[in-house]
Amino acid sequence: EAGVAQSPRYKIIEKRQSVAFWCNPISGHATLYWYQQILGQGPKLLIQFQNNGVVDDSQLPKDRFSAERLKGVDSTLKIQPAKLEDSAVYLCASSFRGAPSGELFFGEGSRLTVL
Amino acid sequence: AQSVTQLDSQVPVFEEAPVELRCNYSSSVSVYLFWYVQYPNQGLQLLLKYLSGSTLVKGINGFEAEFNKSQTSFHLRKPSVHISDTAEYFCAVSLGSGGYQKVTFGTGTKLQVIP
């Protein structure tokens, strides 16, 4: 079974530029998450999708971050314009039904450096 | 709202010695508890989880954790660590909120196994 795929693995940009990250979850998984992991901190949920609908984006900085999940499969997270404090690893995860007892499956992450 | 506290940011331990990584949580409702492990430059993967039943749960790689409701703790233990256990460990709580899963992670504990 293929795992969660993310790209790119690494990205370096200058502040005020834009960047996009792509995630392909495990086939059949209804729930998709984007987490931000800043160095030395735990993952922080940015946005959570159930199929192609947003169920939680309370911590997403909507003035610069956007995300979509077309057709309930792949997802894209965009940052425009980027700030220095956006330097982090962006983790995509998926789960089968989004049940509270369910395991999250993570991709390897996309490491963003903003100069 | 639920929260997770990992009391130690770093834990150095000699190879073949026992280790305990501490986790405390707070929640006004029943939660499910998880430990995830993150090896360098990789995503998180599930180590073990407590859903119900026996308070002692066993996971992969010889790890186990004990759920203590009165102390709201879910400490992770291993009787004898190996060099390959060097990684960062995250405690997480999960509950159902508004019909979907909400997962909150702690800040992580870096386990450094010394040869």
Band of residue A5 on the pLDDT scale cut at 50, 70, 90: very high
Contact A43 B98 (CB under 8 A): no
What was the pLDDT predicted at B29?
Answer: 79
- For chain B, the domains span 3-114
Query: Above 70 in pLDDT, residue A21?
Result: yes
B30 close to A (CB below 8 A)? no
- For chain A, the domains span 5-114
Q: Chain A residue closest to B91 (CA)?
A: A42
What was the pLDDT predicted at A1?
Answer: 66
B11 close to A (CB below 8 A)? no
Lowest-confidence segment of A31-45, A76-90, B69-83, B86-100 by average pLDDT? B86-100
Superfamily of domain A5-114: Immunoglobulins (2.60.40.10)
**CB pairs under 8 A, 24+ apart, for B36-40?**
B36/A104, B36/A106, B36/B89, B36/B90, B36/B92, B36/B105, B37/B87, B37/B88, B37/B89, B37/B90, B38/B87, B38/B88, B38/B89, B38/B90, B38/B108, B39/B87, B40/B87
For B32-51, what is the mean pLDDT?
Answer: 92
Query: Above 90 in pLDDT, residue B62?
Result: yes
DSSP string covering B31-82:
-EEEEEEE-TTS-EEEEEEE-SS-SEEE-GGG-EEEEETTTTEEEEEESS--
What was the pLDDT predicted at B53?
Answer: 84
Nearest to A55 among B32, B95, B100 (CB): B100
What is the CATH number that goes with domain B3-114?
A: 2.60.40.10
Query: Above 80 in pLDDT, residue B4?
Result: yes
B34 close to A (CB below 8 A)? yes
What was the pLDDT predicted at B5?
Answer: 95
**What's the pLDDT tens digit per position in A32-91?**
999 999 988 899 999 999 988 999 999 999 999 999 998 889 999 999 999 999 999 999
Band of residue A99 on the pLDDT scale cut at 50, 70, 90: confident
Q: Chain A residue closest to B51 (CA)?
A: A101
What was the pLDDT predicted at A2?
Answer: 81
